[in-house]
Structure 1
Amino acid sequence: MKLIKLPIVPCDWMRAEIQILLLSFILLLGFISQVEAGADAFSATSNGVKDRLADVSVRESRDLTLRDAINLALLRNPELAAFSKEMRALEGVTLQAGLLRNPELSVNVENIGNIQKLSGDINAPESIVQEVVQQVTTIRIGQLIELGGKRAARVNAALLGEELAARDYESRRIELMARVANVFTEVLAGQERLKLAAETRQLAQNVVDTVILRVQAGKVPPIEETRAKIGLSTARIEWEQAQRDLVSARKRLALMWDSDAPQFDKALGVLETSIVPPDFQVLQERVLENPLALRAMKNIEHRKALLEVEQTRRIPNLTVNAGVVNYALVGGNTAIASVMVPLPLFDRNQGNLKEAHQRVGKAEDEQTMLELRLKTELAQSYEALSAAWNEITILRDEILPGAKSAFNVMRRGYELGKFGLLELLDAQRVLFQNQLLYVRALANYQRLVNDIERLIAGPIDSIRPRQEIK
């Protein structure tokens, strides 16, 4: 048996088509990269312009209002910025969920090089059997076709994930606004306490001046001057403490928008309020509009969408292949096609389906627990609000007018020699303590209002007071 080598026949048509295919693919990739780079540059530029415009529109003015403080915190707080980036990241998840699977290109070359083998039969020398071993090139393109609505189910679940992130962002936003309002209330209360301590210090100074005049006139012993000066020193300590508390509250407020030191001079606002506690039943209905409650409802929808995704995965996908086979020596082409379908004999996605069903039940239980927790917090805050309102009413209408009147009578009576210094100092102490209690009650009431507004996700003054409910 004798072997004869034949020259290799080049596949020019195949090489040319592969070169054209590769060149087109490279040009397409270059075009896509340029478009994406231009889009990223435009997005970065537009975001930078928006940030600069927002920064110009919201600045820390010399006199700061609550609206200014909230706007600064919403713009510059890093925690809220992190949630915003998470929302934009989930947009990419939704985009990816809706994309089609890429087709697959397969090139298979068998028997590289053409070899012709001639063999002679010794029993039949006249016959020659020719066997040809030739190069065979197969080019296939395969495409996975998802059946059962898998892509639509993934997109729906991803969109619900975006809505969940939006609810998280809104809940954090409302929580941040409530925290800013609470710290702003502390600044207002600190300013009132400092003002009150300054007035008390001035009253103590007036008492000391009066006592000095009476000591010099020989109407009272010198020991009373020492007692009066002790009261003045105590008032000065109270003033310094109020000043330190105000400085601390101002720094905490500035930190809400990531500022190292407060740039404002004064917080503008009225600590006294005329907001009467509204009807509890109306508040209990409004608490279900809290973003956390809405998120719990949306979470159930999201879990059901994920369950649907797992249900679609029970249906097998279809893979379609089509291509051509070229025989180098013979010079012929043959079209080929194939279809592949996996047989769901063992894995029918049973475990993932069970998990998804349990996740739906868990989400429903979490919704019930969350609504119960919100109603409990509302009930506690409402009871404290009612108690604070009663305290404010009693202090404003009964205690403070009596304490002021008693101090004025004592001071006038001391100047006329009808009362002693101890009675005057005691009346001064009672007046200062009740004024301080009034400021604290106002601040506590405002903090409770902020907490209830956080729970109902809206202003409390939009709800009618309880005495107007029939």
Structure 2
Amino acid sequence: MALRHCLAACALAAALLQPAHAGGGLSLIDAVSRALAENPELALLEQQRRSKAALSREAAQPPPLELGVELENFAGTGGSRALSGADTTLTLSRVLERGDKALRREAVADERRALVRTEADIARLELLARVATRFIHVVRDQRLLEVAEEAVDLAEQTHRQARERVDAGAAPNSEAVRAEIDLANAELELEHAEHELKATRISLASLWGERDPRFSRAVADLEKLPALDAIDPVMAKLKRNPQLRRLMEEQRVADARSRLARSKAFADVRVSGGVRRREASDDTAFVAGITIPLGSTERAQPGREAARAEARAGQHAIEAAERELYAVLYGRYQELQHAQTEFDVLRERILPAAESALSDIRSGYQQGRYSYLELADARRQLITQRRRSIRAAERYHRHLIEIERLTGSAVAVPN
């Protein structure tokens, strides 16, 4: 499957596919290209596909001709001493299959080959989803690092303000101590954010075999959320679910095996023909034979019953999977809507209010109208809401990727 077909099948949060800016960073398309080129699971599935193709060709072959040589009446006594009285028979024989067994075997092999192709497609989509999810984690941690740096800047500003008030005799020394503690905590959180980003960068790069990530940063606009189809069209796409496709392919394999099992009720016939040479009389004659096994219908019955049961079990598995996937997809859609609502409320109402409150309290603190505790609380509130906004955007994209993985198709609507 070409890269563009993979991306079309799994969409992968359309907003993330567009770089936020230039500058040599890693885009999602770059990450996907590298992972598809270097992933060993895909190489394994390709070899399995080739193996199944070879087995399909092998299954279509008829039973081989058999050459037989039979020697009688030799190395005995009297006239049968040595080879003087021997009878030598040379025959060619073949099993003539009845019930289109070769075609049935070939059909089973073909369905298994189709199943491997489906599994390869599923593996590509699963890989794309993993790449996109880890890419989002990197973008999230980049944004959280920026917020941690902002928190340190704010803590440094507050520390300076507190020190100025203490030096001016307008506040006790304990305020400067508290500001120092808050600054140290902000610096620890910044260090933690740096470590988190390093770990997620390595996790992403490992998908194409790099232990030391070579990209400078993941380039995307995490906080640009693509619109989503209404719930009914999304749920209608569930029939394209990759796992359902696999189960349906397995069902077709089971149906083909059932037809092969039914064909075994027709007894195969072995025919042979050849030439017999009698050394004692120096005569030559043709020989022919036919062999028909008895009881083939009864012997094939257990296999037919097992194949029918396997086919029925496959149908039940499809029905059970459809019900479970419906519930999972519905839940994911609701979680995505909640993430959208949370993000919108944070960006439109909570963050502007938190920024305004911090600006007012910082100015009032300098004039002695607010306490240090009120200033510190306003600062923490702003940083907390910024992080919350980033995580809400990340959850939205993760849920969108999972919904597109479940439906096997794009559900985002271009903005």
Normalising by structure 2, what TM-score?
Answer: 0.88
Structure 1 counterpart SS, 2:88: strand
Whether 2:23 is the aligned partner of 1:72: answer no
Q: Measure, in 1, the Cα distance between the counterparts of 2:85 and 2:184.
A: 111
Could you tell me whether the CA contact under 8 Å between 1:114 and 1:133 is conserved in 2?
Answer: no
Q: 1:137 aligns with which of 70, 73, 88?
A: 88
Percent of aligned positions that are identical: 29
Q: 2:132 aligns with which of 181, 191, 216?
A: 181
Alignment match, 2:19: none
Whether 2:203 is the aligned partner of 1:241: answer no
Could you tell me whether the CA contact under 8 Å between 2:91 and 2:274 is conserved in 1?
Answer: yes
Deviation, structure 1 residue 63: 2.1
Deviation, structure 1 residue 192: 0.4
Whether 2:71 is the aligned partner of 1:109: answer yes
Unaligned runs of 5+ in 1: 1-60, 118-131, 466-470
Say how many residue pairs are matched: 390
Q: Measure, in 1, the Cα distance between the counterparts of 2:124 and 2:73.
A: 68
After superposition, give the CA deviation of every residue in 1:235-262 in whole Å (9 maximum; x if it has no partner): 1111111111111111211222333232
Q: 2:61 aligns with which of 93, 99, 102?
A: 99
Deviation, structure 1 residue 329: 4.4
Alignment match, 1:55: none
Q: Measure, in 1, the Cα distance between the counterparts of 2:347 and 2:260.
A: 62
* Amino acid paired to 1:404: E
* Amino acid paired to 1:66: L
Alignment match, 2:404: 453
Q: Measure, in 2, the Cα distance between the counterparts of 1:369 and 1:77.
A: 32
* Amino acid paired to 1:95: R
Q: 1:148 aligns with which of 88, 94, 99?
A: 99
Whether 2:282 is the aligned partner of 1:341: answer no
> Within 5 Å, which residues of 2 pair with 1:69-468?
69-112=31-74, 134-344=85-295, 347-462=298-413
After superposition, give the CA deviation of every residue in 1:80-133 in whole Å (9 maximum; x if it has no partner): 33333222221122122111212111111223479986xxxxxxxxxxxxxx96
* Amino acid paired to 1:194: L
Normalising by structure 1, what TM-score?
Answer: 0.78
Deviation, structure 1 residue 77: 2.4
Q: Measure, in 1, the Cα distance between the counterparts of 2:324 and 2:34.
A: 30
Q: Measure, in 1, the Cα distance between the counterparts of 2:126 and 2:296.
A: 51
Could you tell me whether the CA contact under 8 Å between 1:197 and 1:242 is conserved in 2?
Answer: yes
Q: Measure, in 2, the Cα distance between the counterparts of 1:255 and 1:113.
A: 74
Structure 1 counterpart SS, 2:274: strand
* Amino acid paired to 1:103: L
Of the two, which has the highest radius of gyration? 1
Structure 2 counterpart SS, 1:198: helix
Q: Measure, in 1, the Cα distance between the counterparts of 2:198 and 2:400.
A: 24
More deviation in 391-400 or 165-174?
A: 165-174
RMSD: 2.2
Structure 2 counterpart SS, 1:320: strand
Structure 2 counterpart SS, 1:64: coil
Unaligned runs of 5+ in 2: 1-22
Q: Which fold has the larger relative contact order, with Cα–Cα distance below 8 Å and residues 6 or more apart in sequence?
A: 2
Q: Measure, in 2, the Cα distance between the counterparts of 1:166 and 1:67.
A: 23
Could you tell me whether the CA contact under 8 Å between 1:251 and 1:262 is conserved in 2?
Answer: yes
Change over 3 Å in CA distance of 1:273–1:335 after alignment to 2: same
* Amino acid paired to 1:405: S
* Amino acid paired to 2:127: L
Q: Measure, in 2, the Cα distance between the counterparts of 1:166 and 1:291.
A: 12
Q: Measure, in 2, the Cα distance between the counterparts of 1:350 and 1:337.
A: 32
Structure 2 counterpart SS, 1:267: coil
Q: Measure, in 1, the Cα distance between the counterparts of 2:230 and 2:304.
A: 46
* Amino acid paired to 2:41: E
Could you tell me whether the CA contact under 8 Å between 1:168 and 1:292 is conserved in 2?
Answer: no
Q: Measure, in 1, the Cα distance between the counterparts of 2:177 and 2:78.
A: 127
Alignment match, 1:10: none
Q: Measure, in 2, the Cα distance between the counterparts of 1:138 and 1:237.
A: 93
